A and B are shown apart, each in its own frame.
Chain A
Amino acid sequence: MNAGLVLLVVVALAAIGFVIGRSRAISTAGGDARGLHSLPGYYGQTVFLFTAVPALLVMIGWLLFQPLYIDGQISDMISDTDIAEGSSRSLVMSDVRRVASGLNTALEKGIVSETQIASMTTDNTDVRAMLGSAGIALASAVEQNILTVAKEYRQIKGTLGLLMAGVVILIAAAGFLVSVKRIHPDYRARNVSERAIKALLIVASLVAILTTVGIIFSLVFETVRFFGLYPAKDFFFSLTWNPQFSGGSDLGIFPLLWGTLYVSFVALLFAVPIGLMVAIYLSEYASNRVRSIVKPMVEVLAGIPTIVYGLFALITVGPLLRDYFAQPLGLGTSSSSVLTAGLVMGIMLIPFVSSLSDDVINAVPQSMRDGSYGLGATQSETVKQVILPAALPGVVGAILLAASRAIGETMIVVMGAGAAAKLSLNPFEAMTTITVKIVSQLTGDTEFESPETLVAFALGLSLFVITLGLNVLALYIVRKYREQYE
């Protein structure tokens, strides 16, 4: 009995429970729903919850731990002699799982019967050919030991599957009976339902938090492995970035960090003033009609995929800057440059800055504007001296959010700024950023356990820390100064 079917049974039981609970509630109140503490539907809900929730929780736990348990059992059955030269225990384990699932598929397709599987050995059957005819391709012929283990694996899995189905349905039935018995006109079903909803909401927010924690942990583990292979001091303080596939690389983060910050700085240099002016125009000067047209149009910029921006940088902006600025000024001949990437990224960031700032500026109370106009100030005086100071914390927050977005940007940099790790002040030079190097190190052909690959995780963690720091700072600023004009 597979998990999907069990789920269906439990849900069906719970649905029946809802109907029964509801009608039982009405009958205990003598047919008059006004005698109940809660609406009849709430009693149905409690039965539904008590039937489905504990049973499904047990099922989820079971499904999480079953593979661990089976692997522990099976792993002992594989002797060291079964593990071929250059292979590992985990590779043999995955062979076992593959053969076991292959046998199941063959059984379903009617190629073999249950008794045939039981008596099957590598001597009387060509297992590889048989599985091949069932559509399961194996890399090599199946060893007798592996086949034995695979059969055992099937056995344990089947037994556990049945056991799980029994236990889960039993729990569901118990929950069903208990909750139906509990129904009474004074039973506060409404409050139970309220608590259940609260729990659901908490679980939802936990998912988001736990994912973040999970991301951090996976990065931290790999980073620790990296620092086991490569000295941390060199990573943080070396001024060269020069990965070699044959080993002996220089993996200093500094040139990448410099490139990241330089490109982001250029991007913000474009995006912040323009975005801010857009926001001021939209919130203070534009009529409602203009605003309703211009605002969505500006926000379209945020919806353009960054790869499209990258193309724009590569084909239009890069050559333009090279032909009209870099070459005449004698500053470089590369169409990939910090300025190209920064300019295009700045365009991408305009809606981030303008949209958030616009919201913040709109949140400045109308009474501030009235006060200023009432004293004979013009619009720009009001904006400059009253509205911007009042909106400043929010605007700073918007800028920092845009900055963390700029630091994490990849595609525009690959296509606009190139991939050469360089330490230079010249904005017309090609440079590269942390994100670009993460991609190129992870997608290279080097072995996973080498520092050249693992450095990607250390770079990722550094990036995560930087952007997290910026976000925290942004939140702190926004919170600290938010109520100043209230």
Chain B
Amino acid sequence: MFDTQTHKDNAVESKATKIECRDCQVYYGDTHAIKDVNVDIEDKTVTAFIGPSGCGKSTFLRCLNRMNDTIDIARVMGSFKLDGEEIYDKRVDPVQLRAKVGMVFQKPNPFPKSIYDNVAYGPRIHGLARNKADLDEIVEKSLRRGAIWDEVKDRLDAPGTGLSGGQQQRLCIARAVATEPEVLLMDEPCSALDPIATAQVEELIDELRQRYSVVIVTHSMQQAARVSQKTAFFHLGNLVEFGETGQIFTNPEDPRTESYITGRIG
């Protein structure tokens, strides 16, 4: 009994840190949106960011693949290290970085192209396939990992926008997976989906954990509890608490976390 306990702890401990964030600050113009956040995101783990609306969790997520660069007024400070390398270093090409740190958005956003072209988009721009057969293989593999292959294999030429909301979101996940990222960022991936589609996507997230480090922003505490191993609670731009998901939901240390998960603030 004692042995298994230590063994399990060791398993968690042994996972390598994928992204290390230190003293992170984000400003939108004069607004201080993220204040002194320190987080270690582990490899092959699902990390959930929870917190009330406007607390900065999406902003922080967008720092991890420099998506905030596309917003003129956003300024990011502090240290973000992916595998020990500074993300915001001048030598890092944000475009290359985003291929390594993929992203799935709140609303499914398939391009107005065929299902095949949607998935092949990333591999094509990064030159991941040597020939057509190679590309076909990547597309099939990605769609399988997105758990949508069986539903679309007969209509790869149909427009991606013609799928249902849940299918579109899984297509977007497949599209993100196709560039072989190391980290997958998901910004409320289920908020536009019905419960059945949500269940499918959650199941998928659990499978993706075998291969990638997944960071998910969610408004649903049940979802965070179901899919994640680590949870970070943000409030008013501060990281209030970060730890094992079970720990956070059953025995939070900070009174604000407890108030939030019991529904008293937020």
Contact = CB atoms under 8 A, between A and B. Distances in A.
22 contacts: A365-B109, A367-B109, A368-B109, A368-B111, A369-B70, A370-B67, A370-B103, A371-B172, A373-B70, A374-B98, A374-B103, A374-B105, A375-B103, A375-B121, A375-B176, A376-B100, A376-B122, A376-B125, A385-B111, A390-B111, A485-B161, A486-B161
A390 B107 contact: no
Which of B67, B97, B102, B103 counts the most A-chain CB atoms under 10 A from its CB?
B103
Given A371-B175, A374-B65, 17 more contacts: A367-B105, A368-B111, A371-B105, A371-B111, A371-B172, A372-B111, A375-B99, A375-B175, A376-B96, A376-B97, A376-B99, A376-B179, A377-B122, A385-B121, A385-B125, A389-B113, A485-B112
A484 B112 contact: yes
A377 B105 contact: no
Contacts of B172: 371
A16 interface: no
Contact of B102 (A368, A370, A375): A375
A381 interface: yes
A450 B215 CA distance: 82
A376 B105 CA distance: 14
Interface of B: 65, 67, 70, 72, 95-100, 102-105, 107, 109-113, 121-122, 125-126, 159, 161, 172, 175-176, 179
Contact of B72 (A287, A375, A385): A287
Contact of A375 (B70, B98, B112, B159): B98
Closest A-B pairs by Cβ, 3 of them = A376-B99, A374-B103, A367-B109
A459 to B, nearest CB: 42
A39 interface: no
Q: Is the interface of A mostly helix, strand, loop or mixed?
A: helix
Interface in A350-371: 365, 367-371
Contacts of A486: 161
Contacts of A287: 72
A389 B122 contact: no
A375 B171 CA distance: 13
Contacts of A376: 95-100, 122, 125-126, 179
Contacts of A390: 111-112
A249 interface: no
B176 A374 contact: yes
A371 B118 CA distance: 10
Interface in A384-410: 385-386, 389-390
Contacts of A485: 111-112, 161
Contacts of B72: 287-288
A486 B107 CA distance: 11
A264 B182 CA distance: 53
Contact of B95 (A365, A368, A378): A378
Contacts of A374: 65, 67, 98, 102-105, 176
